[in-house]
Every structure is written in C-alpha cells, then in structure tokens.
A and B are shown apart, each in its own frame.
Chain A
Amino acid sequence: MNILLNTPLNAPAPTSSQAPTGAELVVSALRDQGVNMVFGYPGGAIMPLYDALPGSGLKHILVRHEQAAAFAADAYARVTGKAGVCFATSGPGATNLLTGIANAFMDSVPLVIITGQVPTQVMGTDAFQEIDIFGMSLPVVKHSFLVRNAKDIPKIMAQAFEIATSGRPGPVLIDLPKDIAQNRTENTNPVIQIDKPHSEPDPIAIALAESMLKRAKRPVLYIGGGVAKAGAVQALRRFNMLAGIPAVATLTGLGVLPSDNADFYGMLGMHGNKAANTLVQEADLLLVCGARFDDRATGKLDTFAPDAKVIHLDCDGAEIGKLRAANAGVQGDLKAALEKLAIGILDISTWRARARDLRTRHIFDYDAPGTGVFAPAFLEELSRRTGDRFVATCDVGQHQMWVAQHCHFSRPESHLTSGGLGAMGYGIPAGIGAKLAYPDDCVVTITGDGSIMMNIQELATIRRYGVGLKIVLFDNSTLGLVRQWQELFFEGNYSEIDLYDNPDFADVARAFGIEAFTVSRRDQTSAAIDRLLRTRGPILAHVRISPHENVWPLVPPGKSNAEMMEK
C-alpha cells in the first residue's frame, strides 16, 4: 500500500520567470514555515491553490470530507507540536470545516486553515458557493484574515503561523478569494513580527505561590492540557519529583505525569477517579497548571474544593479568575513559572498517606460478571502491552471515558481526544493525522458504533495512503452514553438511542479494503490484541459489547464531585 504517499511528486518546482501568483505565494510561505503535509479537499474557489501544489514538495492528504481534514490536521498538530494545515473550498467546503476548527479552538490546538473564497468582485452578492466563513468562524478562531491583496500573502501567512503557535495556541483562518489566488504580483509587503509581549512570570506572584505552598497541609497539583502545550512537561515532572504533591489531571492533562507515577491519582471530574475527586475536595490548596476549571472537571462549581486556596499558573491571563477566583494568579510561561517555584521538600507525609489510602480503596475493578468483552479490561491490556509507543485517538462516548480511565499513558501525546467540544467523528481522522506524523508509533483509534458513522468515509483515506492505523470499535448497538444518562437521569425513558440496524462493521471495513475481524467473548480479548499488535497495515477490530454496560464512577450532572456514584 502506501502507494501515493511514496510516489515522487510528479512535477518540478515552478521555474517560470513570471511573477508568482497568490496561490504560489501561499505554497511558498507554507514551505518557509517548514510545513510538509497538508490535509484537504479541492473545489471551485480553491482550485488555484491546488494548481500550485504539484511539484511544491508539500504532501497533500486527500480526505473524503472536509471535517476530516480539520480533525486530521488537529491531531497532526497535537503530536508534533507544530501547526496543522488544512485546505477547503468556499461555501460547503468551508462550513464543513467548522466543527474541526471549533474542536481546535476548544482544545487550544494550533491550526492554519486556508479556505477558498469566491472572487472579490462577487463577494457579497450571494454568488455560487459564497459563504462568509470569516464571519461564521469568528467565535471559534484565535484570529482570522481575509486576503484582499496578493502582496499581503507572505505577511499574512507568517502572522498566521506565529499567532496559531504562540502563547495559548489556536486555529487561524485565512480566507483566500479566487482572484487573489490567481493574480500575479511582483512585490510583496514585508513580513512583520508580532509585537504582543510575552510576559515572564511575575516574581511577586511566584513568591506568594511559594509561600502558600510551604504553608499548605493538603496541597493537590491540578494538571491541565496547557502544560504539554507550553512545553512544560519535563519542568512539571522535575518540580513534582521534589515536591511530591498528590496530582490529578483533567482529560487533556493525562500523560503529563505517567499513569504509573507514584504521586499521580488519575483524572478528576465527572468520570474521574474517586480518589482523585476526594483528594481535590479535601485539599487546602490547589496548584492549578494550565487548566481552566472546565465544568466536566469541577462538577458543581460552588462546591468544588471548598477548603482550597488556589494558585493558578497559565499562559493565558484570561483563564485566571474566569470561573474560580485565584489567590495567586501567575500569568506567563508555564515552564518558567514551574522552574522558578522553589519550595523544597514539603511536610505533607500525612496527606500523602491519606492519598495512598484513597488509591487503594478506589482502585478500578476489572473482574466484571459475564462472559462478554469488558471494554475497560480490553483497553487496559491493549495500552499496557503496547507500552510507550501507544497513541490513542478517541471518539466521543462511553469508550472515550473508558480510555481516559483505563489506558496507561506515558506522555501527553499518547492521548488525543476531543475534550472541550466533545465531537463525535474525531477518532478516525485524528488517527490518520497522528499516524502520518509519526509512522513508528502504535496509533489506535478507539471508537464506538455511533461515532464511527460520523466519519466512516475516512476508511477510504486510510486505504488510499496505507495508513497503518489500528481501529478498535466497541459496538453496543446503542448510543451508549446517552442511553446511560436516560437510564440514570431520565427515568429509563429511552429515546432515539437504539442502533440495532448497524451494518456489519467488519464487512464495511473489508469493503473499503481494510482487514477486519469481530470478537464478542471475553476469552478472545488477548488473541484480538495479539492480532492488532502484529498487523502492520490498517486493521479494524469489531468488538461487540453489552448494551447495558455503564461508565463508572460518575458524578451526576449538576452535582458536586463529592457526590460521585460508584455504581
């Protein structure tokens, strides 16, 4: 397989003595930024850009739906730390990107999105495939540009990458009218540096934080996704190797501390670990690093960590005090802030013993009744046997929570999940993006029978490029998390959750040219994982599970994390 990816690009770089077109300037700028892979789907208004691609040195991955281009670029960015790039045409192509753009915005992922637009002379006339994507995307981009003059393209492209990747990362959209992309231009406006200052952590705030930490008797380190995005993973690990503070993580903070770290107590929040939630509720101090007090993490906010003072470290000052007032707010580079915090060894042995006791009492139980496949045990074994090369790209639903609860993560890049937006359909395109970025990693998409149907067409992309992605599809013939909530919180009034008429997913995968098999008994688990791990090419494991299985433990919606239900 891998035919197209390895095929030499079939045209030489442009050697024309003519002035470059706007599209050629875009391609040139992408190469200047070190981009070597883009995800997209062509169409009318963006044809000039596609005309400039052959021979450019850029690898273009042709997806089968624009949403998948955005998701794949998102995952590519999450694992590489560089901006992901995607293209789409105007109108429906652009609107199809919106969910992916919103996903990147919610999870602070650097993306540069280039959309074709109708020619400037017909903009505002309801022209064919004209949509104001600049206006529609305003709430879900970090910034955006509408190119009015080809001379501005180098400057805009440089700004877009700088904005997308600096400070708190995020998506930047560039809307490129067709005539601007086609125009030739002799002179371009100079690239300028963005002069918004980066603030160093305030020494007074650092000193206050140190003082609070030294006085604390029951501190908890609260890790969010911002730690990895700030490149502060090693700084945090060094900090806590000395401090020994019991630590918990949000969904996107998993992997910052390895799952087997002695001071790590798992995920907090709605489907978190009871030990983690109890520690936070009993804490007298929260050291919050790169987290935003998301409602899925805090539960009912006014009962969250009621006795705790808060030190909040974040590169984004707008997050400090947004939902929970901080006693010390430290805006700036997280890595620098963690390196400056000098607290020595804390006298918290009693608190650490309490934490260890909680862990023992609330350990997950894999001894489930019955003979069917138990998804938590399947995932635990899969991630444990895969080791440090394991990368999970999740869809959204029960399986997503089981991954967060039961998989072993040794680094933050090993857990890609649609955290803030919760977008079903993320898993497979994200798996494609992650596997293309790092072919030697063992990338596994964990999906459900609801989620996979949101972007199942991307099996064709996997086949086309020979992406060695492993897919584990937990099929309970229902929208499991919705069914669980209807069971628990809507008096068993099951409404529109039955997916009894799913296709045979193994047959579907084979129809796309992908190896597939089905398991339904628990005693097939290890053999299924054997087959997944030894297969080099793409493979789908269709794993039938009980429709009655729920995700435990659970904080009921709107309740305090202190009210966690364990069954």
Chain B
Amino acid sequence: MNTQTLHIEFEHAEGAILRLLGLVERRGFEVCTMNLPRQREGRMNLDISLIAREAGRDIGVLRRQIYRLTGVRRVLGGVVHDTEHYGGRNDQG
C-alpha cells in the first residue's frame, strides 16, 4: 500500500492534535511522518504521511472524516477514487 500525504489546516485548541491523530489511527491508518509548523492567529498546519493498515481503507473517506472535525479548516492531498460523483464539499481539496 502506498504512502499518502495529507495537509490539514486547523484551529489551535486544547486537544486538537490528539483528536486529529487519534482519528487517523482509529480509522485504520498508520502515521509515518508528521510536521507541525505553527502559523499565525491560532491556526496550525499538520502535514502527515500515512499508510493504510489494510486494503479497503480509502483516503477520500478519511479526508472527509478529518474535515468534519470541529476546528478543521481544510484537508488537502491524497488520491481519491471512492465515489463516482461526490456531491459534497471536498476542500478537502
């Protein structure tokens, strides 16, 4: 399985990093590397490379699971091929 990279922009808040990384792990992905440069006005970026622990785990679904977290502004990256036509927000990216 290929390593994929996600770029996540989120509001800095207590527990936000734990919440993000916990979700990624629970949904069946292994975090390979991560970079956490702090940015302005309480916004943070998290760049993570990750790999699915088993086949059938779709990065597109994970992206949307991350995006629905309160405080997450944008999720970019990953190769998505889960839905023929997805009529929803994908910026997600």
Chain A residues in the interface with B (C-beta under 8 A):
134-135, 138-139, 142-146, 148, 163, 167-168, 194, 196-197, 199, 201-202, 204-206, 208, 316-318, 320-322, 325-332
Contacts and interface: CB of A to CB of B under 8 A. Distances in A.
A138 B61 contact: no
28 contacts: A134-B15, A138-B15, A138-B18, A138-B22, A139-B22, A146-B14, A167-B68, A194-B70, A197-B89, A199-B89, A202-B87, A202-B88, A205-B87, A205-B88, A208-B85, A317-B68, A317-B88, A317-B89, A318-B61, A318-B68, A320-B88, A321-B58, A325-B82, A325-B84, A329-B85, A329-B86, A331-B87, A331-B89
B65 interface: yes
B86 to A, nearest CB: 4
B86 A204 contact: no
Interface in B5-19: 14-15, 18-19
A332 B14 contact: no
B60 A206 contact: no
Given A163-B70, A320-B83, A326-B83, A139 B88 contact: no
A140 to B, nearest CB: 10
Given A148-B14, A204-B87, A317-B67, 18 more contacts: A134-B14, A135-B15, A194-B70, A201-B87, A208-B85, A316-B68, A320-B83, A321-B58, A322-B58, A322-B61, A325-B82, A326-B84, A327-B83, A327-B84, A328-B84, A330-B88, A331-B87, A331-B89
B26 interface: yes
A318 B15 contact: no
The 4 A-B residue pairs with the shortest CB-CB distance, nearest first, are A205-B87, A331-B88, A202-B87, A321-B82
Given A135-B18, A146-B14, A321 B60 contact: yes
A330 B89 CA distance: 10
Contacts of A206: 87
Nearest to B90: A317
B43 interface: no
Contacts of B60: 321
A327 B85 contact: yes
A442 B47 CA distance: 54
Interface in B37-92: 58, 60-61, 64-65, 67-71, 82-89
A135 B87 CA distance: 34
Contacts of A331: 86-89
B64 A317 contact: yes
A206 to B, nearest CB: 7
Nearest to A330: B87
B24 to A, nearest CB: 12
Nearest to A204: B87
Contacts of B64: 317-318, 320
Nearest to B63: A318
Contacts of B71: 143
A163 B69 CA distance: 10
B15 A199 contact: no
Given A318-B61, A318-B64, A321-B60, A204 B85 contact: yes
A329 B92 CA distance: 15
Contacts of A326: 83-84, 86
Contacts of B19: 138
Contact of B65 (A197, A199, A318, A330): A318
Contacts of A204: 85, 87
Given A138-B22, A163-B70, A144 B88 contact: no
Contacts of B89: 197, 199, 317, 331
B61 A139 contact: no
Contacts of B14: 134, 145-146, 148
A329 B69 CA distance: 20
Contacts of A145: 14
A8 B45 CA distance: 53
Contacts of B88: 199, 202, 205, 317, 320, 329-332
Contact of A329 (B18, B58, B67, B83): B83
Nearest to B64: A318
A322 B68 CA distance: 14
A106 to B, nearest CB: 14
Which of A197, A206, A316, A321 counts the most B-chain CB atoms under 10 A from its CB?
Answer: A321
A320 B70 contact: no
Contact of B85 (A143, A167, A205): A205
A327 B86 CA distance: 8
Contacts of A144: 15
Given A139-B22, A143-B70, A318-B64, A329 B87 contact: yes
Max chain A C-beta neighbours (<10 A), residue from B15, B18, B68, B87: B87
Nearest to B15: A134
Contacts of B87: 201-202, 204-206, 208, 328-332
Contacts of A138: 15, 18-19, 22
Nearest to B71: A143
Contacts of B86: 205, 317, 320-321, 326, 329, 331
Contacts of B65: 318
Contacts of A196: 70
